[in-house]
Amino acid sequence: MMKKITRFFMLIGIISMAMSCQKEDSLPADNSTMGKISLSREIIGTRQSVELSCPVNISPNATGVEIKWEDDHGITAAPDKYENGIAYITMSWSTAGEFIAKCKVRYIYGNAEVKELEVPVTVVVHPSDFKSSFFGDSYETVVKDNPNGTQNDKNTYTLAEVGGLFHYFEFVDGKLNSGKTGQFKKNSVNPTPKACYTFFGSEFRSQENAHKQFSPTSVYKVTRREPIVPFTPTNEQQRVIDQFQTGTLLTDTERVIIGEMVDNKILCLNATLTWKNRKTETRTVTVSCWATDTANEYALLTAFGR
């Protein structure tokens, strides 16, 4: 009798284990889906924030859900928010080009992974005309895309950065028409006349690199300032001025010669880039450098226009 009871309970245990295994292996139906990613901007510029949103339908049978966004570098982040079945995140790009962003979801049941879904979107980023804005943007849009500035009036807006860098937005009829970036640089403790050429050249080369995809044309030019004492360049000084205006890199000796003329407030160095953007609109940027009235100090102005 005792053997029969023992066998009966062993049989019940085997049936229970079988039912338990069958329950874990037979996962509920999963109807989780994802929709198409939408962008908050139709045209996206460099450094502009854009909100990406993706509909994510989560099955009620999923016991665990993990939503992540992935940028073009493969870096993932949790959504900024998930509301009414939509996952949101804000991204921005510092360079122009085409980039892939993805919304990825992993659905989990118990300890078993049910499935992974992802939806990609191609984001086309255009070079901004000035800072984080396009020419033609409204005053309100410029302030939104370049916050924390000073609203002087409806024709100008100024944005200052750490280190003495400032950006000056200019408007015509309420639309952004041009912009200027200015900065001051102190010469070294032991100042050298060629420092201004280095300061100027570094900024202009950075602009050439930033717009090289458009194959811009370059024009170098010196402008005469009005010295207290009339100035007539020597043959060697004129040769160096002519050499500079061809766009050829100057030697150290030539940099000293032209630097002395800048230090003596005789010359201002200028160079202009001209190109057509993706919409075949003409764009220009002019870099200018001159000596200020403060000892051993240079002013650098980078003007963006069309």
Q: For 255-302, write each residue's pLDDT tens digit.
A: 999 999 999 999 999 999 999 988 889 999 999 999 998 888 999 999
The answer to whether residue 178 is domain-embedded is no
User: 65-83 in b/e burial notation, b at 16+ Cβ within 10 A?
Assistant: eebbbbbeeeeeeebeeee
**pLDDT for position 90:** 96
List the one residue out of 155, 295, 284, 146 whose CA is nearest residue 216. Answer: 284
Q: Count the Cβ atoms, other than its own, within 10 Å of residue 31.
A: 11
Is 301 found in the same domain as 191?
Answer: yes
The answer to whether residue 107 is domain-embedded is yes
**Rounded to the nearest 5°, which phi and psi values hold at 21?**
-65, -40
pLDDT higher at 60 or 189: 60
Amino acid (1-letter code) at residue 231: F
Of the residues 85, 109, 126, which one is the last residue of a structural domain? Answer: 126
**pLDDT for position 229:** 67
pLDDT band at 200 (very low <50, low <70, confident <90, very high): very high
The answer to whether residue 94 is domain-embedded is yes
201, pLDDT greater than 90: yes
Domain carrying residue 119: 33-126
| Total domains present in the chain | 2
HSE (side-chain half, CA atoms, 13 Å) at 176: 28
Is 294 found in the same domain as 217?
Answer: yes
Q: What is the mean pLDDT of residues 141-160?
A: 92
**pLDDT for position 11:** 28
The answer to whether residue 163 is domain-embedded is no
**pLDDT for position 260:** 94
The strand pairing partners of 262, in sequence order, are: none
Which two three-digit tokens encode residue 107? 């659905």
Is 301 found in the same domain as 204?
Answer: yes
HSE (side-chain half, CA atoms, 13 Å) at 295: 3
Q: Count the Cβ atoms, other than its own, within 10 Å of residue 296.
A: 16
Q: For 21-31, write each residue's pLDDT tens digit.
A: 334 444 556 66
Q: For position 99, which CATH number holds?
A: 2.60.40.10
> Across all residues in the chain, what is the average pLDDT?
86
Which two three-digit tokens encode residue 203? 């900024």
Is 300 found in the same domain as 195?
Answer: yes
Which percentage of the chain shows pLDDT scores above 70? 88
**pLDDT for position 29:** 62
The answer to whether residue 143 is domain-embedded is no
The answer to whether residue 150 is domain-embedded is no
Is 192 found in the same domain as 117?
Answer: no
Q: Are strands 166-172 and 156-160 parallel, antiparallel or unpaired?
A: antiparallel
Of the residues 126, 149, 178, which one is the last residue of a structural domain? Answer: 126
The answer to whether residue 176 is domain-embedded is no
